Amino acid sequence: MFSFSTPQPDRELAGAIRIFIESIIPFEKDSRNTSHGPTDDLRRELNKLAKDAGLLAPHVSQRYGGKSLTQMQRAIVFEAAGYSPLGPIALHCAAPDEGNMHLLEMVASEAQKEHFLRPLATAQVRSCFAMTEPSPGAGSDPSLLQTTATGDGETFRVSGRKWLITGGEGAAFMILMARTIIEGRDAGATMFLVDLPNPAVKVTRLIDSMDSSFTEGHAVVDIENLVVTKDDVLGEIGQGLRYAQVRLAPARLSHCMRWLGAAQRAHDIAVEHARIRPAFGVPIGQHEAVGFSLADNDMDLHVARLVTMHGAWTLDQGQRGSMESSRAKVIVSEALFRVADRCVQILGGLGLTADTVVAQIFRELRAFRIYDGPSETHRWALARRIVSPKHSSGGSVQ
Ligand SMILES: Cc1cc2nc3c(=O)[nH]c(=O)nc-3n(C[C@H](O)[C@H](O)[C@H](O)COP(=O)(O)OP(=O)(O)OC[C@H]3O[C@@H](n4cnc5c(N)ncnc54)[C@H](O)[C@@H]3O)c2cc1C
């Protein structure tokens, strides 16, 4: 039986988050909100406000102080958080920490959970996830991994270069993906948990990028002769690419949820502007072209919300949701970018300025079509499944 109604407690939680987000919107103009994202100082202040409001890291399990939200509940809560670019940072449900918390909950040993997950889940620290490398290393194609962990199965030395590592500067630990070579044999990709700072791990550059909502931006990280042991392995040796999927399928959906909130904000600002900005004798919203743009926004937002909810529901059924999260990632990232683009157009010159948050949302949404897999690779993955003889044409609604 289908139901589109939201349970009362979830509505109440989302309502509390909306009120909280309204209260932190003034921080969007704070000087600690830099081109490399909010500083750690600003993050800590916002986390404290969220904690005082009882809203910090609501997604994590109760064992770590959260509310053990299902994916469907996350869809509602993360959208509410995304209404401000600072919302996910404040609530501590932003990338990469949110995806890292999920991965650690799923894969880490009890000792690793106490050491890494507990301080992360309670926002005492930040983390980073280091997989991508500059060309010719791993990007869309993770099999190109160049960073290598060489050893005897007990101890490894890791060297390589990672880039676009969100929050690499100032992270208290890193989930590091490396190709493992054990006694000369390729043992596949492995994830290692690395405490930071470590003299063998250096942030050599903070990258200037189009986006500015991730704490401390994106870093180039050079790793030289880093010593790790088998106790530092997250999960099992050689299973890194499988764990990447454990992390990425829900992480992609979480991005959809948060960006949905941001695009809704841009739309709300555009609607307000269309109601009051006069041109040629009427408010611009009464010109058909502007009205149609707002109607197209409404439809894109609605479809994006439904496909995200469906992906969340699929994960809640205990399925891997690879197809659903790929589908949602493409539909939502492209739909929301169209929404933000139309909002800029409706605002005219104002849309290009920092006087509203729309310009920032427009810039940031562009990146969403690339990270966690560019649209092309998701279409490619979907296409491979669709033409597979095992695939049933009824889609995945069961
Ligand atoms: C803002 C931001 C934050 C990020 N944060 C992190 C992070 O914290 N940790 C991390 O490890 N990485 C991070 N990344 C990296 C991100 O995951 C990669 O950019 C992404 O996986 C794509 O890899 P690439 O940039 O190397 O693109 P490439 O692999 O070089 O691909 C370039 C282009 O080639 C095309 N292409 C690739 N494959 C195919 C195909 N099969 N069919 C058709 N066309 C194709 C696509 O158009 C693609 O955009 C971040 C990136 C951004 C932009």
Domain count, the chain: 3
pLDDT at 1: 54
Q: Which of 195, 211, 237 is the last residue of a domain?
A: 237
The rounded Å distance from CA 259 to ligand 1 centre is 18
Pair (300, 231) in one structural domain: no
The CA distances from residue 54 to 49, 67, 86, 121, in Å, are 9, 10, 17, 14
For ligand 1, whether the C-beta of 380 sits within 6 Å is yes
| 379 CA: nearest ligand 1 atom | 42
CATH number at residue 274: 1.20.140.10
Pair (290, 257) in one structural domain: yes
Pair (286, 366) in one structural domain: yes
For ligand 1, whether the C-beta of 203 sits within 6 Å is no
Residue 392 belongs to a domain: no
Domain that holds residue 214: 127-237
The rounded Å distance from CA 314 to ligand 1 centre is 25
DSSP string, 283-331: EGGGSHHHHHHHHHHHHHHHHHHHHHHHHHHHHHTT---HHHHHHHHHH
Are residues 337 and 365 in contact, defined by beta-carbon separation less than 8 angstroms?
Answer: yes
Q: Which of 184, 212, 237 is the last residue of a domain?
A: 237
**Residue 358 is inside which H or E element, if any?**
helix 358-368
Q: In angstroms, rounded to a whole number, what is the distance separating the alpha carbons of residues 327 and 78?
A: 19
Pair (208, 249) in one structural domain: no
Ligand 1 pocket test, candidate residues 218, 370, 378, most atoms within 8 A of CB: 370
Cα-based angle 18, 20, 23 (whole degrees, multiple of 5): 110
The DSSP 8-state label assigned to residue 116 in this structure reads I
Helix axes 8-24, 71-81, angle to 10 degrees: 20
For ligand 1, whether the C-beta of 219 sits within 6 Å is no
For ligand 1, whether the C-beta of 247 sits within 6 Å is no
pLDDT at 3: 79
Ligand 1 pocket test, candidate residues 132, 144, 203, 241, most atoms within 8 A of CB: 132
pLDDT at 81: 97
pLDDT at 395: 52
The rounded Å distance from CA 139 to ligand 1 centre is 5
Q: What is the chain's pLDDT, residue by residue, as a tens digit (398 residues)? A: 567 888 999 999 999 999 999 999 999 999 999 999 999 999 999 999 999 999 999 999 999 999 999 999 999 999 999 999 999 999 999 999 999 999 999 999 999 999 999 999 999 999 999 999 999 999 999 999 999 999 999 999 999 999 999 999 999 999 999 999 999 999 999 999 999 999 999 999 999 999 999 999 999 999 999 999 999 999 999 999 999 988 888 999 999 999 999 999 999 999 999 999 999 999 999 999 999 999 999 999 999 999 999 999 999 999 989 899 999 999 999 999 999 999 999 999 999 999 999 999 999 999 999 999 999 999 999 999 999 888 776 555 44
Q: In angstroms, rounded to a whole number, what is the distance separating the alpha carbons of residues 344 and 350?
A: 8
- Burial (CB count within 10 angstroms: exposed 0-12, middle 13-18, buried 19+), residue 49: middle
Q: In angstroms, rounded to a whole number, what is the distance separating the alpha carbons of residues 80 and 47?
A: 16
Q: CB neighbours of 186 closer than 8 A, spacing ≥ 6? A: 179, 180
Both structure tokens of 391: 């695939």
The rounded Å distance from CA 8 to ligand 1 centre is 39
Q: Which of 212, 237, 262 is the last residue of a domain?
A: 237
CATH number at residue 142: 2.40.110.10
Pair (186, 256) in one structural domain: no
| 209 CA: nearest ligand 1 atom | 1
Q: In angstroms, rounded to a whole number, what is the distance separating the alpha carbons of residues 129 and 168?
A: 8
pLDDT at 398: 47
pLDDT at 357: 98
Both structure tokens of 365: 């949404």
Which residue lies with its CA nearest to atom 41 of ligand 1? Answer: 377
